[in-house]
């Protein structure tokens, strides 16, 4: 790819306006449903940053912020009841925020690096995802990364496609 991928933890004051702008984008809000006034979004983000079951990240290319990530423990998420979850399963949510970075093949390398990061916890054997069933582009990226579709699930805010990426499959696919 020829670009440096990095992730940093999201910080409220530093990132709230940028993330809010991304949530308002036409390619984002149909799938995230967080296109709300800034004052309401500020409350949402503050609550999310204080939730111990997940960590929010800003994904960067060559140190330029361009994506938003949520890495979370399935154990304390609504997803826990949707399949036979085990204690150290992790989940991932993502969006490419800045339109300048769309359609350039960045989603797969970014997702691969985030999943690789999640598998650094030796207890984690599965990373789960549940992209909106309508989001065919992201479902395709998840499959290319090594995620296997399981079934459609009804979540409070969407119909998602439950997908899993098992450590062995991921390592087989991405270890040189």
pLDDT digits (tens, 9 = 90+) for 85-118: 999 999 999 999 999 999 999 999 999 999 999 9
C-alpha to C-alpha distances, 101 to 70, 88, 134, nearest whole angstrom: 19, 32, 21
Give the closest residue to 124 by CA, choosing from 71, 81, 160: 71
Percent of the chain whose predicted confidence (pLDDT) is above 70: 99
Burial class (CB in 10 A: 0-12, 13-18, 19+), 117: middle
Q: Is 163 within 8 Å of 138 (Cβ atoms)?
A: no
pLDDT surpasses 90 at 166: yes
Look up residue 138 and give its two tokens.
Answer: 């992201």
Q: How many CA atoms lie within 13 A of 132 on its CB side?
A: 15
Structure confidence at residue 176 as a pLDDT band (50, 70, 90)? confident
Average pLDDT value for the chain: 96
């Amino acid at each position: 790819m020829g670009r440096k991928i990095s992730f940093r933890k999201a910080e409220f004051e530093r990132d709230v306006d940028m993330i809010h702008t991304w949530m308002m984008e036409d390619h984002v809000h149909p799938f995230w449903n967080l296109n709300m006034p800034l004052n309401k979004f500020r409350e949402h983000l503050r609550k999310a940053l204080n939730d111990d079951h997940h960590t929010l990240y800003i994904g960067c290319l060559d140190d330029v912020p361009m994506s938003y990530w949520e890495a979370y423990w399935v154990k304390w998420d609504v997803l826990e009841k949707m399949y036979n979850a085990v204690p150290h399963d992790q989940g991932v949510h993502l969006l490419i925020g800045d339109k300048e970075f769309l359609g350039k093949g960045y989603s797969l390398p970014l997702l691969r690096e985030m999943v690789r990061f999640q598998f650094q916890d030796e207890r984690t054997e599965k990373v789960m995802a549940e992209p909106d069933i309508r989001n065919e582009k992201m479902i395709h990226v998840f499959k290319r990364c090594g995620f296997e579709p399981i079934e459609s699930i009804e979540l409070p805010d969407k119909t998602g496609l439950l997908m899993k990426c098992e450590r062995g499959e991921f390592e087989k696919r991405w270890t040189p």
